[in-house]
Amino acid sequence: MAHSGGTPVALLAASGEPALFYAYIGMGQISNQAESEKIAYKYMLEQYAADGNQKKVTALKKYPVLEAGSNVVAFYKSVIRDQCMHELGIGTMHKMRSVFRDIFIPVWTCKAYTLKEKINIWKSKFSFLPKTMLINEMLETDFTSKVPALEIPVYFFSGKYDLTVNINLSKAYLAKLHAPLKGFYSFNNSAHSPLFEEPELVSRIIENDVLKNKNSLADKN
């Protein structure tokens, strides 16, 4: 199972060495992230304009994402992107409004991580480590073309409110992806993290479908 920014890495691994994997689960599966960013940007701009929130409209317009040749990478890395997504319920979790309260504190209190691992999580988050080109590559790659087929069962999990990685783009990708078995699962009470927002349903899907090589619980259309 891979989540969000981990999905391109895992997708390529599953494509390159299918014999090493039983199945592939993509949660918030990235397909064409540059296009996803434009859809999310347009939605946020329209929502704040409708609400009369000129402060947020002005902040967003500093990143002319919809213009030809615009720097989508700069917007993706911006603070305003995360702020708006969480405020509008289309970010990490649909009901999440605070990164500090809903991510930072749970990570620091989670007994599954060592102290070093907890520190490294936040080093990575705030780019204290040497920078790589992974984000640029992710935003410049159309994975629907790069990985048109997988030789193992494929399952995509997407939240209904997910605009961090657009649910409709993920669904369209799976529809054209060639695989021996595949299923798309929409989570009606989730945004970008169904595993944390609807864990019981995720567990049921894994137990009933993934482990039994079925897709009976998948969306019907």
- The answer to whether the pTM exceeds 0.85 is yes
Going by their DSSP bridges, the two strands 154-159 and 182-187 should be labelled as parallel
Q: What is d(CA 188, CA 175) in angstroms, rounded to the nearest whole number?
A: 20
Q: pLDDT at position 130, please?
A: 55
183 token code pair: 């299923």
CATH of range 2-33+142-212; options 3.40.50.300, 3.40.50.1820, 3.30.2130.10, 3.40.640.10: 3.40.50.1820
The radius of gyration computed from the CA coordinates of the chain, to the nearest angstrom, equals 18
Q: pLDDT at position 128, please?
A: 52
Residues 6+ apart with CB under 8 A from 8: 30, 137, 138, 141, 143
Given a contact cutoff of 8 angstroms between Cβ atoms, the answer to whether 191 and 162 are in contact is yes
Q: pLDDT at position 124, please?
A: 73
Tens-level pLDDT at each residue, the chain (221 residues): 999 999 999 999 999 999 999 999 999 999 999 999 999 999 999 999 999 999 999 999 999 999 988 889 999 989 899 999 999 999 999 998 777 787 788 888 989 999 999 888 877 766 655 567 788 899 999 999 999 999 999 999 999 999 999 999 999 999 999 999 999 999 999 999 999 999 999 999 999 999 999 999 999 97
Q: pLDDT at position 101, please?
A: 80
Residue range(s) occupied by CATH 3.40.50.1820 in the chain = 2-33+142-212
Q: What is d(CA 83, CA 65) in angstroms, rounded to the nearest whole number?
A: 17
84 token code pair: 């708006």
Q: pLDDT at position 127, please?
A: 60
